[in-house]
Amino acid sequence: MITAGLAAAFPGLARAAVQATTRGAQESLSLWYQQAAAQWVEALPVGNGRLGAMSFGRIAQERIQLNEDTLFAGGPYDPNNPRSLAALPQVRALIDQAKFAEAAELISSSMMGVPKQQMPYGAAGDLLLDFQGVGAGTAYRRWLDLDTAIAATRFSDGKTQYKREVFASVPDQVVAIRLTATNGTLNFDLGYRHPMKARYGAHGATANMPWDYREPLRADERPSGLSVTPDGADALLIEGRNESAEGIPSALRYAVRVQALGDGTITPRQDRIEVRGATTLTLLVAAATSYVSYADVSGDPVQVVRAQTAAAAAKPYARLRSAHVHAHQMLFRRLSLRLGSGVADPRPTDQRIAVAEQQPDAGLAALYVQYGRYLLLSSSRPGSQPANLQGLWNEGVNPPWGGKYTININTQMNYWPAESANIGECVEPLLRMVEDLSVTGAVTARKGYGARGWMAHHNTDLWRAAAPIDGPLWGMWPCGGAWLCQALWDHYDYHPDAAYLRRIYPLLKGASLFFVDTLVEDPQGRGLVTSPSISPENMHHKGVATCAGPAMDRQILRDLFGWTLQAHALLGETDAAFAAELEARRARLPADRIGAQGQLQEWLEDWDAGAPEQNHRHVSHLYAVYPSAQINVRDTPALIAAAKVTLNTRGDKSTGWATAWRLALWTRMGEGDRAHSILQGLLGPERTYPNMFDAHPPFQIDGNFGGAAAILEMLVQSWGGEIHLLAALPQAWPEGAVRGVRARGGVELDLDWSQGKLRQLLVRGKPGQKIKVRYADRLTELTLDARGRATM
C-alpha cells in the first residue's frame, strides 16, 4: 500500500497510479528455456520487494524456493569495540610514522567490531510438489515474462497439457502459484523443507547434489524447533526460528503459510497437503518474521501470514493476477529500449548467453537492462528492506559474503540504475536504512571516534551494525555511510522536491559532521585527511591496506560536503557557521593526483606501481569518474587520461560487479566501443548465469544493476548540468530507440537514432524548464513549452 508518508517522500508513487503506459509492447521481454532448472542459478526469480521465490519448472517434483527479506540470523546487538576510542590516537600516530603494518595489527586487536563478522541473510525454505503419474513431459517450455512479472512452465504428458504460473504480488503480499491440467488432473503432495546450507561448485553455481532435480528432494529434513502442521482444512503452517551466528543468539520467529484452493480434493495430512483429482489449483504462500525494526523483534508472524493468505483467498485468481500485473506495469512500463533492429532472437536465453562473448547480441543487452529493472523492482519496493548482495534471493543459510549489505561499492551499485531507468521509488528502502544507520552509526561515531554525527564502515546488516568488521584489510574504512548518501542525493537531483530534501538534509549534515570532527592534518602539510582508512580492499606497497587519506575518501567527502552545502542553501538553513566550516574543510581536501606512470593515484602517495595486485577488482579511486563526475571529459581531460592509464593497468575482465564498474567507467569517458567489448564479456557465460543472474562468481546481484546502468549511460548521460546524448554509442548499435529514460532535473527523454546518428529527441518535464543538451560536441539550451515538452 502507498502511504501518505511514502507518497510525500517519493512523489512518483502518487503519479504511478495513473501513469501505466503501453511502452515496451514491441520489446522482447522474456527469458525462456527448453528444459527445467537443474541448479539454483537456472531457476527464475519473482519478488515483491519483501517476499521472493525461485521457480525451477521441474516436471515430476517442482521446487519453489522462498525468501523473506528480514530473515537474517541473530538479533539486535551492539558491535562497537569498547577499546576502539583509546586505540585511535595510537593508530594515527603509527600511520604518521609510516608504520602501517603495526597500525593494522593494532586495528585488528583493538578496533574491530565484536563480533568481527555481521549477521548473514537466510532463506525461508522450499515448497516441494511431488506429482503422481507424470512422465518425462514433451513440448516443454519455461519462461519469465518481465512485462507481467510472471514465471511460467508448460509441458505435455500424453494428452494432458500442464501449465504453472508463479508470481509475487505487491498488492496482496503473497506468492501465488497457479497449476492447471487440461485433459487430465493434478495429483500431488505438497511438503516443506527447512533451509539448509547450500553447496557451491567450482564456478560459484550451487552444486547439483544433494539437491539434484534427478533425485527427489526430501521434505522431512528439518531441525528440532521447526513445526509443520495443518492450519484449517486447506493450509499448512510452518513455524521456526532464525539461525544464531557469531555468538549472537537467534531472536526472530518466522512463519510460512501455504493455502491451497482448487476443484479437487484437498487434504492436509500432518506435515503436507494432498491434492487429488484437481484440474485447477492455486497455492497462496505468505511468509513473515517477528522483525519490527533493527531494535524490535516483537512482531507476530503467524498472525501476519494468516491474514495475508485469508485476504488473498477471498479473491478470484484472475483478480489477484490482474492486480499484480497492473501494479508491476505501472512502474515497469515507464521505460522501453530497442538496440539494433529489434527483431526477436529465436534462441533460448541460455543459448544466447553461451555465445554472447563471441557473438555480439544487441537484443540481449537490451534484455539485460530490462532484467536489471525487473530485479530491482522485485527486490527493493517501498516498505521492504533494500536489495542486499543477492537482491532478495538466496538458496541457503550460508549465502556468499553473508548476503548482507557491503557498502564499499556493492549496495551503492545496486541503486545505480534506479533513477535513469525511471524506477526511483526503489530507493525508498535504502533511504530508511540510512535513517536507521544515522542512529546506530551515531553510537559508532561516538564510541569509536569520539565524534558527532554518524558513520558506517564497509558493511551493515538487518540490525544496522556500523562498526568495522572482517579485519583491517576490509573493515577499517570510514566512508561507507557517506557514500550511501549519494543515492539519496541522486534521487533529489532526478526528482527535485523540497519535502524530500528536508528529509535527507539531517542525514547529509550528520554524515558531514562526523568528518568535520575526525579529519586530521596530513603531517606533510597537504591538507585534511581521513585516518585510519584504506582504499577499499586493496593493499599498497607495504603489503597492508591501512593508510591515511586515500583518493576515494577525498573524492567522496568532496561530494558529501558539496551536497550538504547545496541542501543547506536550498532549504534556507540559518546555521551559517556550520556552512562556513564545511566549505573551509572541503577546500582543504587534497586534490586528485597523477603519478609517475601517468596513472590516477589511488593513494595520497605514489604507491600504485608497488601495489601487489595490479589488476585489483576494486577501482575505488575512479569513483570521481563514475558514479561521481568530479573527473570528466569536459572539465578535467588530464585526469581522464590518467584514469584511462589506471583502467588499462587494471584490465577489462574482473569479477562480475567489477566488470560492470569498468563498463560504466569507459562509458562515462565516452569510449563506446571499448565499453561494448567489456559488455560482451559481462553478458557471456563467465559472468552471467543461465537465468541471467550476475556471476561474481558466485552470484552477486550488483553486477546486474551496474551493467544495466552502464548500458543506459551509453545512450544518455546526465552530469555537469548537461544531458549528454549518445555520448558512448558503440558502432555495434547503429540504430535503436529508448523511451522514458530519466535525467537530472526531473526530465524524461525519448530518443531514436539511425546510422549512428540522433534522429529524434523528445524531452518532457516542467513547463518553462530550461535544460542543456549536448550532442556531438554541440551544446543546445532547450526551453520546455506550456505542455512541458521540447523536441530536437
CATH number of the domain residue 599 falls in: 1.50.10.10
Rg (CA), the chain: 26
Note whether 368 and 683 are within 8 A (CB).
yes
For position 11, what pLDDT does the model report?
45
Q: CA 326, CA 332: separation in Å to the nearest integer?
A: 10
548 lies in the same domain as 572: yes
What's the pLDDT at 16? 37
Query: Is 17 among the domain residues?
Result: no
469 and 328 in a single domain? The answer is no
What is the Cα–Cα distance from 225 to 301, expressed in whole angstroms? 16
Locate 224 and state its grid cell: 528440532
Domain span holding position 253: 34-72+120-333
Report, as ranges of residue numbers, the positions in the chain whose pLDDT lies below 50.
1-25, 202-215
643 and 742, same domain (yes or no): no
3-state SS class at 775: strand
Q: What 3-state DSSP class applies to 683?
A: helix
Query: Concatenated DSSP letters for 129-161?
Result: EEESS--S-EEEEEEEETTTTEEEEEEEETTEE
Question: Which of 633, 651, 669 is the last residue in one of the domains?
Answer: 651
Residue at 29 is within a domain = no
Report the C-alpha gap between 710 and 380 in whole angstroms: 20
Q: What is the largest CA-CA distance in the chain?
A: 83
Bridging pattern class, strands 770-775 and 722-725: parallel
If asked whether residues 314 and 421 sit together in one domain, one would say no
Residue 473 shares a structural domain with residue 561 = yes
Tell me the C-alpha distance between 492 and 350, whole Å.
38
The reply to whether 27 falls in a domain is no
Q: What is the CATH number of the domain that holds 167?
A: 2.70.98.50
Statement to judge: residues 95 and 224 lie in one domain: no
Say yes or no: 95 and 165 in one domain: no
Together in a domain, 128 and 39: yes
In the chain, % helix, strand, coil (3-state, to 5) comes to: 30, 25, 45
Sign (positive or negative) of CA dihedral 308, 314, 315, 317 = positive
Instruction: Assess whether 66 and 88 both reside in one domain.
Output: no
Asked if residue 290 lies in contact with residue 298, where contact means CB atoms within 8 angstroms, the answer is yes
> Residues 401-435: pLDDT tens digits?
999 999 999 999 999 999 999 999 999 999 999 99
Q: Tell the residue number behind the cell numbers 602501517, with chain if given.
A: 100
Instruction: Among 651, 675, 697, identify where a domain stops.
Output: 651
DSSP class of residue 136 equals S
In a domain, 241, yes or no: yes
Name the DSSP letter for residue 198: -
User: Is residue 665, in this structure, part of any structural domain at all?
Assistant: no
650 Cβ partners below 8 Å, 6+ apart?
614, 615, 616, 619, 662
Q: Please indicate, yes or no, whether residues 623 and 762 belong to a single structural domain of this protein.
A: no
Nearest by Cα to 306 from 344, 360, 369, 255: 255
Chain-centroid distance, C-alpha 550:
26
Q: Point out the domain boundary residue: 298, 314, 333.
A: 333
- At 199 the pLDDT is 78
224 lies in the same domain as 281: yes
Q: At what angle do helices 702-715 and 672-683 cross, to 10 degrees?
A: 150
Indicate whether 578 belongs to any domain.
Answer: yes
State the pTM of this model.
Answer: 0.95
pLDDT 10s digits, 609-651? 999 999 999 999 999 999 999 999 999 999 999 999 999 999 9
Same domain? For 613 and 755 the reply is: no
Q: What 3-state DSSP class applies to 98? A: coil
Q: Which three cell numbers stand for residue 302?
A: 503467524
Domain count, the chain: 3
The pLDDT score that the predictor gives to residue 632 is 98
